């Protein structure tokens, strides 16, 4: 019954390369720190979706655990970067 979904998963993974490339462009190009943090947020959302699709395509449900770990790390890292951005004064030297 699920052959259709399993066959569709690799195609969707290939399509997801487009937003991955766009977020990487934003992360390389900048221009500010905040833009790069937003791009990191976006990259993690894409990779959670990628790991879920990989779990379906390969039949190994351990990839779902990877997606959950990425979501957890994303929250903590975004909070840490936000605190850095808010507290860093700069220009001290």
Interface with another protein (CB under 8 A), residue total: 61
Task: Name 47's Cβ contacts closer than 8 Å, sequence gap at least 6.
Answer: 20, 67, 70
Contact letters (x/-) for another protein, 60-79, by CB under 8 A?
-x--xx-xx--xx-xx--xx
Other CB atoms within 10 A of residue 54 CB: 20
- Of 88, 70, 92, 71, nearest to 34 (Cα)? 88
- 28 scored as a contact of another protein (CB under 8 A): no
What letter would DSSP give residue 16? T
The nearest distance, CB 44 to another protein, in angstroms, is: 8
Contact set with another protein (CB under 8 A): 1-6, 8-9, 12, 15-16, 18-23, 25-26, 30-35, 37-39, 41-42, 45-46, 48-49, 52-53, 55-56, 59, 61, 64-65, 67-68, 71-72, 74-75, 78-79, 81-86, 88-91, 93
């Amino acid at each position: 019954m699920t052959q259709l979904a399993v066959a569709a998963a690799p195609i969707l993974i290939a399509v997801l390369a487009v937003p991955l490339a766009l977020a990487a462009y934003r992360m390389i190009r900048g221009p500010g720190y905040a833009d790069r943090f937003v791009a990191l947020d976006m990259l993690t959302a894409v990779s959670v979706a990628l790991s879920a699709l990989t779990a379906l395509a390969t039949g190994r449900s351990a990839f779902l655990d990877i997606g959950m770990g990425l979501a957890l790390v994303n929250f903590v890292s975004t909070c840490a970067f936000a605190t850095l951005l808010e507290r860093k004064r700069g220009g001290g030297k």
